[in-house]
Chains A and B, each alone.
Chain A
């Protein structure tokens, strides 16, 4: 269970949101929507601890995340606007390093399978990430979800730059995660094709 209580965010002189309270239970996908600049990215960055809240509390399984410290960072996978890929490494190498730094010994076969699942075949897996298109880079970053065993996924515009096939593949992956009792918090400008019983919506007014 992820709880957000009375959360406020101010960037510079501008207050993005205040008094934000919401709760996401296991097995739910929270789709955060709102206009550009409404604070979606700031909210997600607060959820993963990259941005300290101006006011309010974030609780994971009932405990404030500030008290959990490093153990909370072991509970979620965050994929932000930036893909977190080194241009000089191949998608396979990037995924292996990302998985290992996340604390998971993902085998080469598991990583290849994950990349295949997002539509990056064996030939693309061997190319330096720097030569891939934006969509391919995004897929490469999202492949981390296929090797992630963490219960909470925090995703900033995960569908950005994806084509229809990759969108369907990611949607299936998200649905499988929430069906298995996981939690997804994703900012998005589009409808997520996950079954309505697993969905929750939050709209930031900006």
Chain B
């Protein structure tokens, strides 16, 4: 038997969560199906006017992505908390902040990445062209990990609390606002012929800030939840 290090622990946390998600496909699919349905309802409800659809597309796609992320946050730590796996994770002789980061990465792979990949396809319903879809994908690629990281703080803070789903929404939705503004703003700017660099840079800055602060805050909240 050989000793394993931090990299192995990170890989194992991600692998375990992906394997569980694979066995429990319905949970993972709920998020994706929700995103597809919400984004498909708007063109049906508003009508086929291309100019209107192009105008609302960035906001609709981004709000749908944000709500899909919110939908999946309740599962991030709850099952681990209930079955005792979280207790074991906290006792792993590795920095909890890094392990939390691994769990958030797994969450993004399960619920964020499918949204990033589906968004360009769903964007076609709104008459978005190739370049705009590229900007949309890039903005979601930068923004959805930030949503997962911020959401993890809310999920950890509300762990074990009755009605935690509502509480998570109340806690994290205000924090999602900058990501929504910069994400949707990047796509809107491109459609309007304005440069997208500022919005994408700010999205990147949000991601960097979240990568540094969110795992630390989440780990602290998890320790408190387990006391």
Residue positions of A touching B, CB distance < 8 A = 48-52, 70-71, 73-74, 78, 80-89, 93, 97-98, 100-107, 110, 128, 147, 149
Pairwise interchain contact B87-A105, C-beta atoms closer than 8 A:
no
Pairwise interchain contact A89-B16, C-beta atoms closer than 8 A:
yes
Given known A-B contacts A86-B16, A88-B20, A98 and B91 have beta carbons under 8 A apart:
no
Pairwise interchain contact A80-B4, C-beta atoms closer than 8 A:
no
Pairwise interchain contact A101-B1, C-beta atoms closer than 8 A:
no
Pairwise interchain contact A83-B91, C-beta atoms closer than 8 A:
no
Closest residue of A by beta carbon distance from B6: A103
Tell me, in angstroms, the Cα distance from A112 to B8 when the chains sit together: 21
Pairwise interchain contact A89-B95, C-beta atoms closer than 8 A:
no
Pairwise interchain contact B23-A101, C-beta atoms closer than 8 A:
no
Q: Which residue of the partner chain, among B24, B88, B93, contacts A74 with CB atoms under 8 Å?
A: B93
Pairwise interchain contact A83-B83, C-beta atoms closer than 8 A:
yes
Q: Which residue of the partner chain, among B4, B16, B19, B23, contacts A103 with CB atoms under 8 Å?
A: B4
Residue positions of B touching A, CB distance < 8 A = 1-5, 8-9, 12-13, 15-16, 19-20, 23-24, 79, 82-85, 87-95, 226-227
Residues of the A chain whose Cβ atoms lie less than 8 Å from the Cβ of B15: 97
Tell me, in angstroms, the Cα distance from A48 to B85 when the chains sit together: 15
Pairwise interchain contact A50-B87, C-beta atoms closer than 8 A:
yes
Q: Which residue of the partner chain, among B5, B8, B12, B19, contacts A89 with CB atoms under 8 Å?
A: B19
Tell me, in angstroms, the Cα distance from A52 to B226 when the chains sit together: 11
Given known A-B contacts A51-B227, A101-B12, A103-B3, A87 and B91 have beta carbons under 8 A apart:
no
Pairwise interchain contact A101-B92, C-beta atoms closer than 8 A:
yes
8 interchain residue pairs of minimum CB distance: A82-B84, A74-B93, A88-B23, A84-B84, A73-B93, A84-B88, A105-B2, A100-B12
Closest residue of A by beta carbon distance from B85: A84
Pairwise interchain contact A87-B83, C-beta atoms closer than 8 A:
yes
Given known A-B contacts A89-B20, A105-B3, A110-B1, A82 and B83 have beta carbons under 8 A apart:
yes
Pairwise interchain contact B92-A73, C-beta atoms closer than 8 A:
yes
Closest residue of A by beta carbon distance from B13: A101
Pairwise interchain contact A105-B93, C-beta atoms closer than 8 A:
no
Pairwise interchain contact B20-A49, C-beta atoms closer than 8 A:
no
Pairwise interchain contact A100-B226, C-beta atoms closer than 8 A:
no
Pairwise interchain contact B93-A50, C-beta atoms closer than 8 A:
no
Closest residue of A by beta carbon distance from B223: A50
Closest residue of A by beta carbon distance from B89: A101
Residues of the A chain whose Cβ atoms lie less than 8 Å from the Cβ of B20: 86, 88-89
A-B contact pairs, 25 of them (CB 8 A): A49-B91, A50-B226, A50-B227, A52-B227, A73-B92, A78-B88, A80-B87, A82-B87, A84-B84, A84-B87, A85-B84, A86-B20, A87-B83, A89-B20, A89-B23, A97-B15, A100-B4, A100-B8, A101-B9, A101-B89, A103-B3, A103-B9, A103-B94, A105-B8, A106-B1
